[in-house]
């Protein structure tokens, strides 16, 4: 089990939530199985990103 972080950080939580929703809707392009978890995280500098967990 490993985390895979999305490739870019954004400035607001709203933007990160939109990216997470876009990832959840676009599951058809993901490898073999859909991810177990898609979530938003905040860095120590206050930026936001999306993390994805596959089995």
Nearest CA to 9 out of 34, 36, 37, 45 is that of 45
Per-residue pLDDT, 46: 96
State both tokens at 9: 């950080």
42: β partners: 48
Q: What is the count of structural domains for the chain?
A: 1
Q: Residue 3: is it exposed, middle or buried by C-beta count within 10 angstroms (0-12/13-18/19+)?
A: exposed
Output the pTM of the full model: 0.77
Q: Are 42 and 48 in contact (CB under 8 A)?
A: yes
Question: pLDDT per residue over 1-53, tens digit each?
Answer: 577 777 789 999 999 999 999 888 876 565 667 778 889 999 999 999 998 88
Per-residue pLDDT, 29: 63
Segments forming the whole domain that contains residue 6: 2-54
Rounded Cα–Cα distance for residues 18 and 46 (Å): 17
């Amino acid at each position: 089990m490993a985390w895979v972080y999305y490739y870019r950080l954004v400035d607001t939580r709203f933007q990160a939530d939109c990216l997470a929703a876009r990832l959840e809707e676009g599951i058809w392009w993901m490898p073999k199985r859909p991810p177990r978890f898609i979530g938003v995280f905040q860095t120590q500098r206050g930026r936001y990103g999306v993390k994805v967990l596959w089995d």
